[in-house]
Chain A
Amino acid sequence: MRRGAQPSVWALRGVLVAGILVALFAWVPQGHAPPVVLDVLVVAAAALSAFRPEHLSLPITMSFVVVWWAFAIGGDGLPAAALVAAAGLTITHVAAVLLSYGPPSLPVDPQLALLWAGRGLLTWVGSLVVWGVARTYTDHGTPSLFWLTGLAAALVGAVVAGAAVPVRGQQARE
């Protein structure tokens, strides 16, 4: 019985690493290259995450990329490269989700991959919407903190609501 990783799993690992690199280097064309130390760190952590997609190293790496973006953008507003970075992070997340469905000996189900590709695309449209809305309201007198706070409140509300809903089975037993 074969117990090694399937070719489709290897491909997905490559996609995971590629996604995070796309997110990291999305603003290079505008002349904002990340420091070499960060490049090495992200590549190493991404490679580790490709083999252990459920490890904490992946969200930490992704957070590093996000923080780098905060430093790199500074006061440069809303570049279109943010959409490329969003696509990169989405690809990485979707690849990690697909890898987490089973051990490396489980071949990636094409139907499942297609489903998640669609979901990734749909959610990336969310980025496009936020980018469009933010572009519309920038320079129109509405402070960005205003709508950012609203978004954060909505997020916290969703998390609290989700966590508070009990499992029906639990209710029945209680």
Chain B
Amino acid sequence: MSEPETRWRSTSNLGRALLVGGVAVGVALATGIPALVVVVAPLLVMGALGLLHKPTREPYVFATIGHRQLHEGQGTRIRLETRDMDDVEHLTRVMSPQPFLAIRPVDGALGQLLAPGDQVRAVEVSPRRWGSRLVGAEKVALTAPWAGYRWGPVPFIGREVGVLPTLTHVRSGGEAPQPIGLIGAHRSRRDGNGTEFSSIRRFHAGDRLRRINWRVSLRQGILHVESTRAEEDTAVLLIVDALADYGQSGGIGSTESSLDVTVRAAAALADQYLSGGDRVSLRVLSPSGEYAGYGTGTRHLRRILILLSRIRPGLPRDVAIDQIDFRTTAGSVVVVISPMLSEPLATATVRLVRRGLPVIVVDPLPPGSTPSVYPDADAVVSDLAWRMRLLDRSHLLAQLSAAGCPVVPWNGPRTLEEVLRRLSRRGQLPRVGGG
């Protein structure tokens, strides 16, 4: 029969008290000096009391985390469920430090004297950046009265918690340039059954009688009706460039890297359009190539947020960027969120513009951001290389603008409003047909 497992172990405190006490008593016996026993008497008493409080039952400790999914900046509690704690006087919790995870208590260590019936204090954690974060990795130690025995420290491995990008709920005032859906909030380019006034025209067969404008009809002597603009939804394709991450991320409320801005901008735009009843699709240029087809509603928004939280930067596998089929539909608005440091992506963007789709490039590169380089790289050379890339980028952005693709830096959820208005006005201008 194997030896049963117990995690109670005698402590160094007990060993010290007994060792020093034992040495002193031994020397006192050998030399006949009672003063030595006086010197170590407190240690002997503490050692004896430590032994007398030897735990007699194995405690049960189990960690629970309040949430499986959180948004950046939200918090949750890590609680300890305990049983059979009668022999426990003190509990120590030490959280394992994790990147982008704020912990309260700030130092990640918590000690608590336990009286019978006491609840163990919870540790509060808050992920500071989107992605997958290990939450609840900690060590727990229990100490018996007089610190003679200790249970653990027992490691708890924690759990991966999906951290979704934060959302700022803003309803856009911008209208889609080419809405072609059936229902929605965008003003259509065609007349139809809506509320917004379009024109007064002659009555045609099929016009509703309640649309007749009697004043104009009497003046003209012929029936005239008020026509309105149809209201339609639109389709929005979000193309997210996760080929690389530039700059340093300090988590929410702190410095942002280019990928932070990209992910948060994509989340904000998806939320903005989906809450307006539009259809949104997501295409991520990354090794995993996260993709969500056109869809609507809050479930679709959640799916998009989960896909965004899973992004790992890198080049797409098995496919060249300029060969990617973005599966755009007629009338879609294409929003490319990219610092445009990849020429193939710029080429793919121009191709979309030439197909007649309204394409907007959102620039997520924070000012002053630099790429991460190998530690042994020559700083002067890498700085020069980065400056050259920035020059290339500005040239590329100018070419995109010249091709009819507006480029705007990300400036919050209202970034696209003015651009969309401009695109919408341009779409309504008469065009001269080319050969």
Q: Chain A interface (Cβ within 8 Å of chain B)? A: 1-3, 6, 23, 53-55, 58-59, 62-63, 66-67, 69-70, 73-74, 77-79, 82-83, 85-86, 89-90, 93, 96-97, 100-103, 105-107, 109, 111-112, 115, 119-120, 123-124, 126-127, 129-131, 134, 138, 143-145, 147-149, 151-152, 155, 158-159, 161-163, 165, 167-170, 173-174
CB pair A168 B92 closer than 8 Å: no
- Whether B44 sits at the interface, judged by CB under 8 Å, is yes
Give chain A nearest CB distance to B18 CB in angstroms. Answer: 6
CB pair A1 B51 closer than 8 Å: no
Chain B positions within 8 Å of A161 at CB level: 51
Give chain B nearest CB distance to A114 CB in angstroms. Answer: 10
Bound together, the chains give a CA A111 to CA B420 distance in angstroms of 63
CB pair A73 B35 closer than 8 Å: yes
Known: A90-B42, A101-B143. A112 touches B22 (CB 8 A): no
CB pair A158 B39 closer than 8 Å: no
Taking a contact as CB atoms closer than 8 A, the residue among A107, A119, A162 that contacts B107 in the complex is A107
CB pair B107 A115 closer than 8 Å: no
CB pair B45 A162 closer than 8 Å: no
Most buried by B among A97, A103, A115, A129: A97
Binds A, one of B24-32, B69-77, B207-215, B367-375: B24-32
Residue of A nearest to B102 (CB): A1
Give chain B nearest CB distance to A101 CB in angstroms. Answer: 6
Chain B positions within 8 Å of A124 at CB level: 42
Give chain B nearest CB distance to A26 CB in angstroms. Answer: 9
Bound together, the chains give a CA A115 to CA B90 distance in angstroms of 11
CB pair B94 A163 closer than 8 Å: no
- Whether B330 sits at the interface, judged by CB under 8 Å, is no
CB pair A102 B32 closer than 8 Å: no
CB pair B25 A152 closer than 8 Å: yes
Known: A101-B143, A105-B109, A159-B51. A96 touches B39 (CB 8 A): no
Residue of B nearest to A123 (CB): B42
- Whether B120 sits at the interface, judged by CB under 8 Å, is no
CB pair A131 B38 closer than 8 Å: yes
CB pair A78 B34 closer than 8 Å: yes
Chain A positions within 8 Å of B102 at CB level: 1
Give chain B nearest CB distance to A31 CB in angstroms. Answer: 16
**Could you pull out 24 A-B pairs where Cβ atoms are within 8 angstroms?**
A59-B15, A63-B23, A66-B40, A67-B27, A69-B35, A70-B27, A77-B35, A89-B20, A93-B17, A93-B42, A101-B92, A109-B112, A123-B45, A127-B39, A130-B37, A144-B33, A144-B34, A148-B25, A155-B25, A161-B51, A169-B56, A169-B57, A173-B4, A174-B1
Taking a contact as CB atoms closer than 8 A, the residue among A97, A106, A112, A165 that contacts B54 in the complex is A165
Give chain B nearest CB distance to A153 CB in angstroms. Answer: 10
Binds A, one of B5-13, B173-181, B408-416: B5-13
Chain B positions within 8 Å of A120 at CB level: 42
* Interface residues contributed by chain B, number (CB under 8 Å): 66
Known: A70-B31, A78-B35, A152-B25. A168 touches B57 (CB 8 A): yes
Bound together, the chains give a CA A15 to CA B8 distance in angstroms of 29
Chain B, residues 219-236, CB within 8 Å of chain A (1/0): the string is: 000000000000000000
Bound together, the chains give a CA A159 to CA B48 distance in angstroms of 7
Chain B, residues 269-287, CB within 8 Å of chain A (1/0): the string is: 0000000000000000000
Bound together, the chains give a CA A109 to CA B112 distance in angstroms of 8
Taking a contact as CB atoms closer than 8 A, the residue among A1, A23, A158, A173 that contacts B97 in the complex is A1
CB pair A1 B12 closer than 8 Å: no
Across chains A and B, which 4 residue pairs bring their CB atoms closest together, nearest first? A162-B51, A169-B58, A123-B42, A106-B109
Known: A144-B34, A163-B51, A168-B57. A63 touches B19 (CB 8 A): yes
CB pair B39 A66 closer than 8 Å: yes
Taking a contact as CB atoms closer than 8 A, the residue among B28, B37, B47, B111 that contacts A109 in the complex is B111
- Whether B141 sits at the interface, judged by CB under 8 Å, is yes
Bound together, the chains give a CA A112 to CA B97 distance in angstroms of 25
CB pair B106 A2 closer than 8 Å: yes
